[in-house]
Amino acid sequence: MKTKEDFLEGQLLLIDKPLEWSSFQAVNAIRWAISRKFKLKKIKVGHAGTLDPLATGLLLICTGKFTKKIPELQGLVKEYTGTITLGATTPSYDLETEITEKFPVDHITEKLIRETARSFVGKISQKPPVFSAVKKEGKRLYEYARKGKEVVITPREIEILAFEITKIDMPEVHFRVVCSKGTYIRSLAYDFGIALQSGGYLSELRRTKIGDYHVNNGISPVEFRENLQIEGPIS
């Protein structure tokens, strides 16, 4: 079992974030568990790349002196699996908001889906979703969105290293994506729908890898607490 000194000197934890947990909640749960176990008033804990509440999968969480490694870890290539639902769009590009527009899908063939996916591979320009934590003029984009304010979003260059269609069960398209730092899979889903002359939103997402770290080696925040043999509910 890890000691107090281990966590203070620095640990890199592979955490499998549960559905509907924010990344912030996961970090807080880890910090709380360590602090409670070792009676620490303060310990640095942070994550190396946000996952939306509706996504599951790998969070790299650093403790103690390892928090200095976060910028380096954030730059690693990421892998995701998930589902894009075609024929509709939502303001958040996922299921956080309700469907606002519907589009035809009768013209969409398997060949078209696979060809369109290939067209996204490489360096592309992408706009972050308006419902995101990207900052503009000191405020998060979602702050503008929730107030119904329109805002001009600057595109950014990202790189899609692989966009593999793993299963087609219309209107659902299952995929695997390998991408650079700064990629929004929600935006990819939205842009994919447009490229198919329809609409699309992200209906399921799981982060499976960050660099060489795999979610199969991760544990949930609850399991982390249990491994420390802490009793009582997560704070």
Residues catalogued as catalytic: 52
Is residue 211 within 8 A of residue 112, CB to CB? The reply is no
Cα–Cα distance for residue pair 106/122, rounded to 1 Å: 28
CB atoms within 10 A of CB 90: 24
Before 129, cis peptide (omega within 30)?
A: no
Cα–Cα distance for residue pair 157/17, rounded to 1 Å: 27
Beta bridge partners of 163: 177
Eight-state DSSP code of residue 106? T
Is residue 230 within 8 A of residue 37, CB to CB? The reply is yes
